[in-house]
């Protein structure tokens, strides 16, 4: 249960009132105290006025999954009082704004209710509606600092960093922080039974979101063309790319850009731009979410059929249709794996966190150019938009992009005839040329039927030869995808199979199950097509649970379709209501199922 450096708390506020910066401040302060911490921002698809929550989990053991219960709720949004008070664990605490009388909705047996007049303190000490509204957040952050024993020196240093150049703001923030802190100290026993103590467990880590990580990956991979259409939760990825490019890719002498970002008229055009640029030889990418992937289908098939590299970041959100744009899901697995009409199969990477998102972003460009095909990096809203504590990113200056088989003018000189789709090496990958190269290098890309010489065809044999080569290429790609991440235990006969952002919750669940005497092996799949390692793991475990965040067991379908694993040998654990997965969900499902089987 909860204790020192092991608890969770949650703020329920109204969006657009400035609570995000206060919540971020709290999380960062804990991180700087050396204590592992995770934050989940649960926000509405709205700019101002709707409920929003921020959950912070502190875990000395380094667990980063969403907590299944919270020890303390700060209830600042009357419209969600009833809901918020219900999420406090028995014996937990509720903190409310006592400027107003205690709302009957907030009254609950078995929890401790604490009131601090956040609003009243602001009215008393600050002028103007705007300041009073914004600083109310800093006041509750100050109270939490007292109740949870957050190091005020760390907080002061952070405020100075943030407002160092704006002395007035710095002063008012300091004052607000102090008001909340002092009031809590004066009226309540501080700290609470669960609180913070400095550790040294975060010095090798950073706090970063997955969209920023992917953007940085694109910069380091040498991507030069980015095309996109704004969409939640993917927008920040291109905005991140832009700001990194402004920092790293502007010629200091001329002010000119070594990059091109095109905000397209829609996702279809974004896909077209990326494919045009990929054909021309640039590393190009787009960032989107499910609705964008739906729109891009035709173009994805074109790139597949004509062997053109392109990278697509899909920051998945709750579908179908508009769905819940600010909630997370992993429900695009099938639509990515087989995107577009006709027989198509694609390479997909599944990072579990921002650190891996950075690495896979770089890798995606290598795979796309090596295999001359679309590559998808499938993150989700939770990975993309939340700040995660991950190990610092590293870079090896020896890295060189894998541009794949590209024939330049000199290489063309040495061959008799250039046939664009001729599989010389037997790996399904034919050498390409880039537009602009002379001699025999010119060829005609066509989405219509073409033969290995890139000539138009309606000939059955020539057609089949070409699409069979694409199958060969796909099979070959299976050997180049990242291998799964395994967490194995001696004597385990149950296998947990999972993907992407479920990672943290599933590994935590494995630990909790072990405490109950249930030994499980965990395989987190990191790429599609599946390699031999995936097949082996499925064969080695008689009983497997496939844990994923969609309704229709899409990962299980892929395993059944691609590897022939009997569907009924795999028990699905599905969590698809839009929130990040918790370990409890997994533990409960596994134990319930095993109890049924043995009963």
Partner 1 sequence: MTSIAKPPVRHPSSRTNGRGLTLRDYEGAMSTLCAGCGHDSVTAALVQAAWEMELEPHRAAKMSGIGCSSKTTAYFMKQSHGFNSVHGRMPSVTSGASAANRALTYIGISGDGDSLSIGLGQLSHAIRRNVNMLYVLENNGVYGLTKGQFSASADIGSMSKKGEANEQSPIDPILLALTLGASFVARSFSGDKKQLVPILKAGLAHKGLAIVDVISPCVSFNDHEGSTKSYKFTREHEVEAVHTDFVPLRREITVPETGEDVHAVTMHDGAVVRLRSTSPEYDPTNRESAYAHVRACQARGEIATGLLFVDEGGRDMHEMMRTVPTPLVDVPYEKLCPGKSAMDKLMERYR
Tell which positions 275-304 bind partner 1, by CB under 8 A: 275-282, 284, 298-299, 302
249 is a site residue for partner 1 (CB under 8 A): yes
Backbone angles phi, psi at 102, to 5 degrees: -60, 120
Q: How many CB atoms are located within 10 Å of the residue 408 CB?
A: 11
- Spatial separation of the C-alpha atoms in residues 134 and 138, rounded to whole Å: 7
CA 108 to CA 112: how far, in whole Å? 9
Indicate the residue among 2 and 419 with the shorter CB distance to partner 1. 419
> If binding is defined by CB under 8 A, does position 48 make contact with partner 1?
no
Q: Does 274 sit near partner 1 (CB under 8 A)?
A: yes
SS3 assignment, position 505: helix
Does 155 help bind partner 1 (rule: CB under 8 A)?
Answer: no
Q: Are strands 310-316 and 284-288 parallel, antiparallel or unpaired?
A: parallel
Q: Work out whether 437 is an interface residue with partner 1 (CB under 8 A).
A: yes
Q: Does 441 bind partner 1 (CB under 8 A)?
A: yes
Neighbours of 404 (CB within 10 A): 18
d(CA 546, CA 530): 15
In the block, which residue shows the tokens 């909630």? 327
Output Rg (C-alpha) for the chain, integer angstroms: 27
Q: Which is nearer to partner 1, 56 or 282 (CB)?
A: 282
Q: For residues 234 and 95, is the Cβ–Cβ distance under 8 A?
A: no
Task: Select 265 or 542, whichever has its Cβ closest to partner 1.
Answer: 265
Kindly state the helix (H) or strand (E) to which residue 374 belongs, with its residue range: strand 374-380
CB of 469 to partner 1, least distance (A): 20
For the four alpha carbons of 42, 197, 506 and 582, in that order, the dihedral sign comes to negative
How far, in whole angstroms, is CA 59 from its chain's centroid? 20
Among 146, 219, 496, 510, binds partner 1 (CB under 8 A): 219
Q: Out of 456, 468, 471, 486, name the contact with partner 1 by CB under 8 A.
A: 456
- Rounded-to-integer distance, Cα 596 and Cα 585, Å: 17
Q: Which helix (DSSP H) or strand (DSSP E) does residue 261 occupy?
A: strand 260-263
Question: Judged by CB under 8 A, does residue 448 bind partner 1?
Answer: yes
Q: How far apart are the first and last CA of the chain?
A: 29
Question: Residue 597: beta bridge partners?
Answer: none
Pick from 184, 187, 234, 186: nearest CA to 214: 234
- Whose structure tokens read 């694109």? 218
Q: How far is the CB of 43 from partner 1 (least distance, A)?
A: 21
* C-beta of 37 vs 589, nearer to partner 1: 37
Give the residue with the Cβ less far from partner 1, 48 or 448. 448
Does residue 225 bind partner 1 (CB under 8 A)? Answer: yes
Instruction: Write phi, then psi, for 134 (nearest 5 degrees).
Output: -65, -45
Binding residue (CB under 8 A) for partner 1 from 32, 317, 524, 541: 32
Question: Is residue 270 within the footprint of partner 1 (CB under 8 A)?
Answer: yes
**From 49-57, 453-461, 498-506, 544-552, span contacting partner 1 (CB under 8 A):** 453-461
What is the total count of residues that contact partner 1 (CB under 8 A)?
76
Closest CA relative to residue 96, chosen from 462, 194, 167, 108? 108
Among 251, 490, 542, 568, binds partner 1 (CB under 8 A): 251
Q: Which is nearer to partner 1, 338 or 393 (CB)?
A: 393
Minimum gap (Å) between residue 143 Cβ and partner 1? 25
**Nearest to partner 1 of 266, 343 (CB atom):** 266
CB 244, min distance to partner 1, A: 8
Identity of the residue, 271 or 581, whose beta carbon is nearer to partner 1 in the bound complex: 271
Closest by CA to 28, choosing from 154, 119, 126, 113, is: 154
Told to check if 261 binds partner 1 by CB under 8 A, we report: yes
List, in order, residues 6 or more apart from 124 with CB less than 8 Å away. Answer: none
339 binds partner 1 (CB under 8 A): no
- Write down the least CB distance from residue 227 to partner 1, Å: 7
Of residues 190-209, which lie at the interface with partner 1 (CB under 8 A)? Answer: 206-208
224 touches partner 1 by CB under 8 A: yes
Residues numbered 551-590 forming contacts with partner 1, rule: CB under 8 A: none
Element of type H or E holding 462 = helix 460-477
Give the phi and the psi of residue 80 in degrees, each rounded to 5: -120, 15
Contact 386, 209 (CB under 8 A): yes
The interface with partner 1 within residues 380-409 (CB under 8 A) comprises 392-397, 399-401
Stretch that binds partner 1, among 170-178, 272-280, 474-482, 553-561 (CB under 8 A): 272-280
**Using the rule CB under 8 A, which residue among 100, 444, 468, 532 binds partner 1?**
444
3-state secondary structure of 208: strand
Of 54-62, 123-131, 431-439, 523-531, the segment contacting partner 1 by CB under 8 A is 431-439
The one segment of 59-67, 233-241, 432-440, 540-548 that binds partner 1 by CB under 8 A:
432-440
Instruction: Pick between residue 18 and residue 222 the one whose CB is nearest to partner 1.
Output: 222
Residue of the chain from 167, 438, 491, 517 that contacts partner 1 (CB under 8 A): 438
85, 150, 216, 337: which one binds partner 1 (CB under 8 A): 216
Choosing from 190, 199, 434, 485, the residue that interacts with partner 1 (CB under 8 A) is 434
Position 412 contacts partner 1 (CB under 8 A): no
Residue pair 4/59 in contact (Cβ under 8 Å)? The answer is no
């Amino acid at each position: 249960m909860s204790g020192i450096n092991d608890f969770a708390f949650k703020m329920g506020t109204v969006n657009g009132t400035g609570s995000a910066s206060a919540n971020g401040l709290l999380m960062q302060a804990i991180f700087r105290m050396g204590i592992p911490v995770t934050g989940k921002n649960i926000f509405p698809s709205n700019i101002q006025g709707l409920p929003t929550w921020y959950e912070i989990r502190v875990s000395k053991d380094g667990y980063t999954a969403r907590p299944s219960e919270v020890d303390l709720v700060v209830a600042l949004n009357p419209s969600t009082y009833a809901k918020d008070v219900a999420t406090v664990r028995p014996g937990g605490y509720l903190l409310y704004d006592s400027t107003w009388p205690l709302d009957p909705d907030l009254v609950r047996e078995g929890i401790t209710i604490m009131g601090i007049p956040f609003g009243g303190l602001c009215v008393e000490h600050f002028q103007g509606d705007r300041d009073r509204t914004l600083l109310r957040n800093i006041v509750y952050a100050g109270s939490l600092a007292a109740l949870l024993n957050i190091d005020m020196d760390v907080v002061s240093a952070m405020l100075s960093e943030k407002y160092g150049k704006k002395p007035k703001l710095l002063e008012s923030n300091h004052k607000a922080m102090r008001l909340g802190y002092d009031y809590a100290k004066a009226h309540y026993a501080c700290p609470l039974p669960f609180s913070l103590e400095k550790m040294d467990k975060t010095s090798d880590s950073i706090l970063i979101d997955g969209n920023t990580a992917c953007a940085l990956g694109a910069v380091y991979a040498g991507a030069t063309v980015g095309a996109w259409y704004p969409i939640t939760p993917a927008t920040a990825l291109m905005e991140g790319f832009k700001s990194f490019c402004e920092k790293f890719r502007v010629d200091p002498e001329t002010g000119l850009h070594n990059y091109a970002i095109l905000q397209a008229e829609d996702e279809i055009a974004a896909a077209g731009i990326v494919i045009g640029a990929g054909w021309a030889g640039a590393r190009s990418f787009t960032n989107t979410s499910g609705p964008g992937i739906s729109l891009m289908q035709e173009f994805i098939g074109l790139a597949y059929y004509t062997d053109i590299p392109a990278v697509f970041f899909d920051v998945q959100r709750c579908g179908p249709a508009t769905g819940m744009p600010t909630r997370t899901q992993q429900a695009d697995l099938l639509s990515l794996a087989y995107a577009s009409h006709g027989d198509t199969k694609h390479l997909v990477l599944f990072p579990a966190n921002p650190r891996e998102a950075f690495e896979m972003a770089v890798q995606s460009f290598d795979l796309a150019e090596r295999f001359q095909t679309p590559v998808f990096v499938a993150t989700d809203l939770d990975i993309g938009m939340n700040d995660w504590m991950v190990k610092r990113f590293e870079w090896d200056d020896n890295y060189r992009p894998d541009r794949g088989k590209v024939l330049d003018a000199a290489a063309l000189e040495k061959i008799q005839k250039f046939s664009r789709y001729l599989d010389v090496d037997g790996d399904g990958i034919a050498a390409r040329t880039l537009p602009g190269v002379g001699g025999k290098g010119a060829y005609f890309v066509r989405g219509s039927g073409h033969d290995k010489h890139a000539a138009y065809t309606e000939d059955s044999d020539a057609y089949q030869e070409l699409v069979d080569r694409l199958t060969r290429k796909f099979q070959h790609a299976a050997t180049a995808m990242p291998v799964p991440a395994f967490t194995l235990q001696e004597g385990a006969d149950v296998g947990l199979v999972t993907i992407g952002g479920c990672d943290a919750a599933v590994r935590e669940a494995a630990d909790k199950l072990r405490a109950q005497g249930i030994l499980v092996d965990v395989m987190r799949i990191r790429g599609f097509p599946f390699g031999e390692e995936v097949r082996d793991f499925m064969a080695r475990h008689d009983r497997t649970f496939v844990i994923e965040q969609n309704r229709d067991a899409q990962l299980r379908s892929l395993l059944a379709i691609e590897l022939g694993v009997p569907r009924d040998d795999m028990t699905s654990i599905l969590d698809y209501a839009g929130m990040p997965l918790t370990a409890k969900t997994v533990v409960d499902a596994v134990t319930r199922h095993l109890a049924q089987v043995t009963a």
